[in-house]
Amino acid sequence: MTPPQHKNFHTSNPETSAAIDRSLPEFAAAEVSDEDTFFKNHSPPNYLPEIESEVEEFIKFHLNRDKENAKIVLVTSGGTTVPLENNTVRFIDNFSAGTRGATSAEYFLESGYSVIFLHREFSLLPYSRHFSHSTNCFLDYMIEKDNKIEINPKFSNEMLKVYKKYHKAESENNLLLIPFTTVNQYLYTLKSICEKLQILQKNALFYLAAAVSDFFIPQYRLPQHKIQSSNINHDGELVIRLNQVPKFLSRLVDNWTNTRAYIVSFKLETDEGILIKKSKSALERYHHQLVIGNLLQTRKTEVVFVTKDNEDWVKLNDEEIANNVEIESLMIPQVIKLHDKWIKDI
């Protein structure tokens, strides 16, 4: 079976239709604390139907290949933006480069999972991450020889290793890249992919590593045009009011996914003293299977797996750190072990 050809979507430019759309009703200062209200009051990205059919095709392809054993993981990755204007000149963003998501996706692929990679456009991608965001210009990986361009022999061994893995994933149609930029695009696309994956039941795994904004400006309050520097108050300040992004995880667990799916969320903190407590309370609140806690400062060398009964730290030792071992190479086998146990027991 020939793998389907994927289209390229761009999510980073504001949708011009949305940018001039004032037809959305002026909602009475709606309390956007609830997920249903969010979806009622915000329009879906206009490219969503195309993404939905790509996702459907991808799932169909894998079910046709091996109905009983096809395992698909949805990996979310990178930060979401919060536009401050409808015709977006400025937006709020966060630190996430998508390292966790892109690296984890590679280890899932190596372990036989197919991956839907829902990522912030232009953040790190599986495989190309090894070269795309280095401090080298990509042309530094090349040399000119006899008026032809070649890979610099200095890098060719490393590149060949990565290329082989990339080529395997591509030629076997095991990796589907789906982009987002804004928090609205993220939530709509996430909901849609979750619903499509219900058919996989317990063979579906959700690995939610994206750093999703907690606050946003609802569409009914978003200024149409660029905020002017004259928009200041008496104290010379620009005041921006942000609403809370709905806690989508409860809907994801209770409604969007099949109750048999295995769901992993991440908890990010900066204060060591509250990491475990907050991870546990997320687990109790949303009733999913695993929370992986991490601190901003140490996220590349240690994480904690919090389940109903356990707290297990996964840490790189000094030798592993010196040898540039990626913590995801230890995390993903653990996640897979938990997913396998779930599949067996449920």
Q: Which residues bind ligand 9Z3 (CB under 6 A)?
A: 96-100, 208-209, 211-212, 249, 265-268, 294, 299
Comparing CA positions, the residue from 130, 126, 128 lying closest to residue 115 is 126
d(CA 346, CA 207): 19
Residues in contact with 155: Cβ distance below 8 Å, sequence separation at least 6, in sequence order: 141
User: Which C-beta is closer to ligand 9Z3: that of 88 or that of 99?
Assistant: 99
Tokens linked to 93: 């963003």
User: Which C-beta is closer to ligand 9Z3: that of 75 or that of 116?
Assistant: 75
> Least Å distance between CB 280 and ligand 9Z3?
13
Tokens linked to 57: 């095709």
Q: Are 82 and 40 in contact (CB under 8 A)?
A: no
Q: How many residues does the chain have?
A: 346
The amino acid at residue 306 is V
The amino acid at residue 95 is F
> Least Å distance between CB 169 and ligand 9Z3?
20
Instruction: Give CA 320 to chain center in angstroms.
Output: 26
> Least Å distance between CB 106 and ligand 9Z3?
13
> Least Å distance between CB 78 and ligand 9Z3?
6
CA distances from 130 to 102, 133, 165, 247, 332 (A): 10, 7, 12, 34, 19
The vertex-299 CA angle with 297 and 305, nearest 5°, equals 130
> Least Å distance between CB 5 and ligand 9Z3?
29
Q: Are 156 and 133 in contact (CB under 8 A)?
A: no
User: Which C-beta is closer to ligand 9Z3: that of 45 or that of 246?
Assistant: 246
User: Which C-beta is closer to ligand 9Z3: that of 71 or that of 267?
Assistant: 267
User: Which C-beta is closer to ligand 9Z3: that of 209 or that of 290?
Assistant: 209
User: Which C-beta is closer to ligand 9Z3: that of 197 or that of 208?
Assistant: 208
> Least Å distance between CB 45 and ligand 9Z3?
20
